[in-house]
Structure 1
Amino acid sequence: MRNRNAIVPLALALALAGGAAKAQSTPAGLWQMLDDDSKQPLSLVRISEAAGGVQSGRLEKLLDPSRQDARCTLCTDERKNQPMLGMTIMRNVKASGDGTWEGGDILDPNNGKVYRVRLKPVEGGKALEVRGYIGPFFRTQRWTRVE
């Protein structure tokens, strides 16, 4: 009986650790985006999961103090001239079943272009490959998990 009582807490701890590992392998969370050219931290993006497993991301913090009041002047949809801070830049992304999330789109508020998007957690969920597509062309960024 004593061994059985020792196994229960161990099994519970392993189950909780497994759940935490699974959470880290999803795009949900807070991510730091780097500037493509300078590689300096640019912003923090919060990716959230809504009903049905749909992921969306919004600009939670702009790290350049001079851009706090920046607006999406080059956007061509309903986000035109809206403040970048708090803006939803990623929408309608769903799990594709192979460890990636896709099917939605991502906005680059610096040029106003909207791309099809694919997300792939890497390094055990510590980093996220974010790939934006227009036709056969794509650009990949590597975001790092903040939390």
Structure 2
Amino acid sequence: MKKIAAALMGTLLLVGLARADEAIVGTWKTIDDETRQPKALVQITDNGGEYQGRIVKLFHNPDARCDQCDGDRKDKPIQGMTILWGLKKSGDSYEGGKILDPKKGKIYSSKARLQDGGKKLEVRGFLGVSLLGRTQTWERQ
């Protein structure tokens, strides 16, 4: 009986560790930090240790285009666009990424950290040092 209990505990521990490695993978509802209203659903995926996020649904104006963007994103639909890329796990956070603000067409450095037992994701976009930027809290879906 003790061997079965130990095996079960070991399995649960391994499942928990695997889940922790993919903790930010999934779909997140973004909340506008100015209006506090839901903006979009972003799906985060793991691409070989680098995490990226793509808008899979815009709640308001789903036909919006990135008219302020430069380059290959110029005038492209925001829904379906990759807006977060290059995040890498670093301890209990994810760092070294970039995030696009489609409203302004600007790209910022980014980092993220899970909150509330993985139910929320604090995403920060910033210029230079992380003190100059803004933070949004996204909700797991």
- TM-score, structure 2 as length reference: 0.88
1:145 corresponds to which residue? 140
Give 1:10's aligned residue. Answer: 8
* 1:48 counterpart (45, 48, 56): 45
Task: Point out the structure with max Rg over C-alpha.
Answer: 1
Paired residue type of 1:144: E
- The answer to whether residue 36 in structure 2 is matched with residue 31 in structure 1 is no
Residue 58 (1) aligns with residue 59 (2): no
> Does 1:78 pair with 2:72?
yes
Aligned position for 1:131: 124
Alpha-carbon separation, structure 2, partners of 1:13 and 1:20: 11
Q: Which residue of 1 aligns with 2:108?
A: 115
Distance 1:58 1:49 in 2: 12
Between Structure 1 and Structure 2, how many residues are aligned? 139
| Structure 1 moving runs of 4+ over 6 Å | none
Quote the sequence identity (%): 41
Give 5+ residue unaligned stretches, structure 1. none
Superposed CA offset, 1:29-62 (max 9, x none)? 11000122221111000010011x1000000111
Residue type of the partner of 1:37? E
How far apart, in 1, do the equivalents of 2:38 and 2:18 lie? Answer: 26
List alignment gaps of at least 5 residues for structure 2: none
